[in-house]
Structures are given as C-alpha cells and as structure tokens.
Structure 1
C-alpha cells in the first residue's frame, strides 16, 4: 500500500491506495476517481503504517481493497459507507 501525508492549514491529509490502483480511473457512471501519482503516490507501508497514518489524519482518502479493509478492520471506516467504483473500493475519513 502507498501512503502519502501532507500537512495543510486544516490538519494532516492522508492519501492511501493499493499499489495496483495507482494510475487507474474508476467510476460508476455518475462518479469518477482517478488515482494519480501526484495525490496518492507515496511511501510503501503495511497495515500498521496505514492505521498509524489514519489515526493521525484530519482527513483521509483511500482507494483499493486492501487499504480500505485495513481501515474497516481497525474500526476507522464504516463498511456501509464504502463506495464501490467499478470494482474498486473507495472510502473517505474525516475526524470532527
């Protein structure tokens, strides 16, 4: 999984994707998502690294079966709120 962290004025923004999703575009007709190197490209990490980044994030975007499953298993993402975009799982996380 690839993890990218950015400090913003609103807090830490984390983008995570499964490596095979990088460069792909997914959609369901009304919604489209392109997994760009500029946004999602980052350092390789395991499940522990993903959970660590997500618990520190103010907002996060995740694309891919593995990383979304890690977030669900850690109790950070509600599985009922995960989108399926042409076979790719996508979740967003926002801490209030």
Structure 2
C-alpha cells in the first residue's frame, strides 16, 4: 500500500492511501477519471499496520483499492455500501466531524 498524510494548519489532516498496484494509473468509469499519483497517495510502500494507524488518527481519509478499502471496512470506519466503484476498484472518503 501507499500512504501520504496531508497536514493542513487549522483543518486537521487528510490520509491518502491506495493499493500499491494502482499507483501511477488512471481509472475510468463513464465520465469519471481518477488519476492515482504519488503526489497525492505517496511514493513509498508502507505496511498495512502503518495504514491502519494513520486511519485510526485521521480527521479525513481518501482511500482507493480493494485491500485498503477492505482494511477500513474491517476496522469499522466505513461500510461496503459507503464505497463507490470506479470500474472494479472501490473508493471511499471518510470525514470525521
């Protein structure tokens, strides 16, 4: 998995995580295109435990990929029906208020 934490003063942080094989790809479904870049999702691979720890602390999260979304579901952060599919790849955003 890839992980990047975007810290915004006064607004908390956004955790961005994706499955490793999705990095540097573009997913398309109908009129929707999503570019999965290292600039947003990070360029270094991390262990699942590091993604888990980041998601536990996250104010907001943007996740894409079967493994990272399954992790968030297993952690009880989202439900499967909270995800959208871009082609056959699940995507979800988590917001804590």
TM-score by length of 1: 0.91
Aligned partners of 1:2 and 1:41 also within 8 Å: yes
Provide the residue aligned with 2:15 in structure 1.
Answer: 14
**Residue 78 (str. 1) matches residue 79 (str. 2):** yes
How many residues of Structure 1 are paired with residues of Structure 2 in the alignment? 96
Distance 1:28 1:86 in 2: 5
Name the counterpart of 1:93.
94
Question: Which position in structure 1 is the counterpart of 2:40?
Answer: 39
What is the RMSD computed on CA atoms of the aligned residues?
Answer: 1.3
Counterpart in the other structure of 1:49: 50
Q: Distance in 1 between matches of 2:24 and 2:87?
A: 15
Show CA shifts across 1:21-46 (max 9, x none).
00111122132211011101244223
Q: Report the equivalent of 1:4.
A: 4
Runs of 4+ deviating beyond 6 Å? none
